[in-house]
Amino acid sequence: MTTTSEPATTTVAAPQAVAPQPEATRPASGTRVDVPALEQMLLGRWPEERSEARRMVAAHPELWKREGITKEEHREITLAQMKQMVPYGQVLRAFPERLGGREQAGGNLVGFEELVAADPSLQIKAGVQWGLFASAINHLGTEEQKDRLLPGAMDLSVPGAFAMTETGHGSDVAAIGTTATYDPETEEFVINTPFRGAWKQYLGNAAKHGVAATVFAQLITNGVDHGVHCFYVPIRDPQTLEFLPGVGGEDDGQKGGLNGIDNGKLHFTDVRVPRRDLLARYGQVAADGTYTSSIDSPGRRFFTMLGALVQGRVSLDGAAITAAKIGLAIATKYAEQRRQFSPATGADELTLLDYATHRRRLFPRIAEAYAMHFAHDELLDLFDDVFSGREDTPAKREDLETTAAALKATSTWYSLDTLQECREACGGAGFLSENRFTGLRADLDIYATFEGDNHVLLQLAAKRLVGDYGKKMARAAKSPGGMAGIVAGQAKDAVLHKTPLRRLGQSVADGGGARSAGRLLDAEVQRALIAGRYEGMVAATAMGMRPALKADPVKAQEIFDDNQVGLIGSAAAWAELVRWDAFTKAVGTVSDPGTRKVLTLLRDIYGLTTIERHLDWHLTNGRLSTGRAKAVTATIDRLLKALRPHVLDVIDAWGFSQEHLRAPIADGSEKVRQDEARAYYRELRASGKAPISEKELRKQQAKQAR
C-alpha cells in the first residue's frame, strides 16, 4: 500500500513486513494442563481450610491492606480486622475443642498463611496473638492454665505480646538476661530486666494494644538457675491501657514494613507474678521452691519448650511462598499482555514473555515456587504429625525443627529476591504501590529475621545434618573395616572427580550437545548432582570440624569459625534437595498426562537451575565437564521456551482471583490498552495516511537515485 494518494514530493511503498509469530498464549492443541485438577491438588491435605481462608480474604475488602495511611491508622485498622475475624473461628482451629477450637494443627496453619494475601500486617499480628501469645499458653501451660488463660487470648479480650527476644540476645534465647526469681514467702516470682540489654524488644502488641505477655526468663529458685521458662504476666490496665506498676516500655515507631503492628519494648522492675502463672507443662516449682520437671536434661528441656513454638517457622515458610506466588502471578499476567518493541516496521510489538530474557527472569522462579510448595506441604504434614500427638516423638520433633529451620530460611530469602525481580520486570508500573510489589517486599523484609535470623537457622539445621554424618562415621569406626571403607570411598571419589570423568556416565571427550542435554533431563542424573553437592559439602564440613571434638574450647571455637560458612551452605544445599525430592514425589501422583508432562517440565527447570546456580562447585569438584556445564544452560533456555504456552495455566492453578492479586496491571486492563494501540496503528496503516519514517524515506530516495 502507499502512504497517501494525495500529491507528495515522493511516493513510497511501505515495507511488507511479516512479524515473527509470537508464542501462543495457551496451547491450541496437544499437551494441556488440567487447571481445576491441579488447583485442587495444590490445596493439599486441608483443601477446605485453605479455601475457606481464601474465600474470607476475597469476600472482605475491609481486610485488605490500605496503602498510604499512617502507622497509627494502620495499627487500629489491623486490630479491628482481627476482631472481625474472631467470629469466623478461622484463627482458632489450633486450640482445644472444649474451649471453642478444633484441635487442627496443620489446618490452622494453612488458613493463617493465606492471610498474607489480605495484608501481611494482619497475618503477623494474628500470628503474634494466636500463634505466639496464645500458643505459648496452649503448648507450655497445664490444662488448668489453658482453661483459665486461653479464652481471653482466643477471643481477643486479652491482646497479648510474646516477650522472648531481647535487645542483647536476639537468636540466642538460652542467654537471655531477664530473671524470674522465686520468693517462697509470698509464693511469687519476681521478674526483672537487670540491664538495658535485657529489655524485651521487637514485640508485637507491646507498644499499645497488649494487656498481657508471655515472658521468657531465667527461672531461679533456691539459688539455682533452671534455665529459660515462660510466665504469664499482665502488663497493662485493660481499661486505661496504662502500664502496671513495675512494667515499662517504648514504642518502636515507624518500621520498614508491617506498620499495622505496634511493635515495642518491655522492661520489668520487681514485677511479682503468682506461682500459678509459671506456664508449668515442662517445669514446676512447689510452694517451698523445689523445682521438678518431667525432662531431666536442662538442654533437652529448653529445646522442647522452644520446639513447641516451631509453628512460627513453619507458617513463615508457607506465607513467604504465598507472597512470592502473588508477585509472580501479577508479573507474569502483566508480561503476557504488555508489548514492547516491534521486530519490523508495521509488525505488532512482542509481548514481554516472548523475550528469552524475560522468561529467564520469571519462569525459573515459578518452577521454584512449585518445588517450595510441595516441600512445604510435607513440612505441614510433619508438623501436624507432631502437634496432633499422633507421632510426637523426640526424633520426629528433631526432624521438624531441622526441616522448618532450613526451609524457612531459604524460602524467605527466595521470596524477597523474587518480589524484587518481579518489581523490576514490571518497570515503572512495578514501582507503583497499587501494584503491590513494593509493599509486599517491605512487609516481608523482616521475615528473614523473624523467628530466628536465617543464618542462625541454617546453622541450627546444619549442626543436625553434620551431627548425623558424625554419628555415621562413629558407627563405621566401630565396625571392622568400616572407617577404612569410608576413607577409601572418599579417596576414590576424589580421584574420580579430580577430572570430570564418569560420575554421570560422561567421558573425557564429552563436549555437551544433544546427548548431554538428554541425560540432564534424567531424574536420576539431576538428583545425583543435587544430592552429590549436599553430601560433598556436609562431609567436608564434618571432617573439617572433627578435630574440635578433642580440642580445648578456644581452639574448638576457632575450628568452628573456619568451617561456619561451609556449615551454613550445606544446610541450604540440603533444603534444595528436600524440595527436589518433594517435587518429584508430587509429580508421581499426577495421573493426567498433560498435567504430568508440564509439572515434569517445571521440575526439570527447578532441578537444572539449581544445578546451574552452583556450576562453580560442580566444575571445581569435577562433577560436571565444561561441555555438560554449557549444556545445562542451553537446556534450561529450551525448557523455558517450552513452558511459555503453559505458563498461565500453572499460574492460574495457584487459585488466586483478582481479589487476591488486586494489581491493576494484572486485571486485564493492560491487554485492553495494548489492543487499542494495535487497532489504532492497523487502521492508520489501512487508511493510507500513516506517515513514513525518515529512515525509510531515505532508503526509498537512495533506491530511486540508483
Residues acting as catalytic residues: 451
First-to-last alpha carbon distance for the chain, in angstroms, is 22
* Whole-number Å distance between alpha carbons of 208 and 206: 6
d(CA 581, CA 269): 52
| CA–CA dist 697, 706 (Å, integer) | 14
Instruction: Compute the residue count for the chain.
Output: 706
CB-CB contact of 82 with 129 (8 Å): yes
Give every CB contact of residue 500 below 8 A, 6+ residues apart in sequence.
506, 508, 510, 619, 622, 623, 624, 625, 626, 628
Q: How many angstroms separate the CA atoms of 356 and 634, rounded?
A: 12
What does DSSP say about strands 200-203 and 264-268: parallel, antiparallel, or unpaired?
antiparallel
Beta bridge partners of 265: 250
Integer Cα distance of 583 and 395 in angstroms? 24
φ and ψ of 221, to 5 deg:
-145, 140
Distance, in Å, from the CA atom of 279 to the CA atom of 703, rounded to the nearest integer, reads 91
Residue given cell 498463611 in the structure block: 113
Q: For residue 351, what are the β-bridge partners?
A: 339
Strand partners, 232: 214
Backbone angles phi, psi at 83, to 5 degrees: -65, -35
List phi, psi (to 5°) of 8: -150, 165
Question: Is residue 289 within 8 Å of residue 275, measured between CB atoms?
Answer: no
Cα distance between residue 437 and residue 431, in whole Å = 7
Task: Provide CB contacts within 8 A for 81, sequence distance 6+.
Answer: 62, 63, 118, 119, 122
Residue 587 backbone class (left: φ over 0; alpha: ψ -120 to 50; beta: rest): alpha
Closest CA to 379 of 355, 403, 345: 403
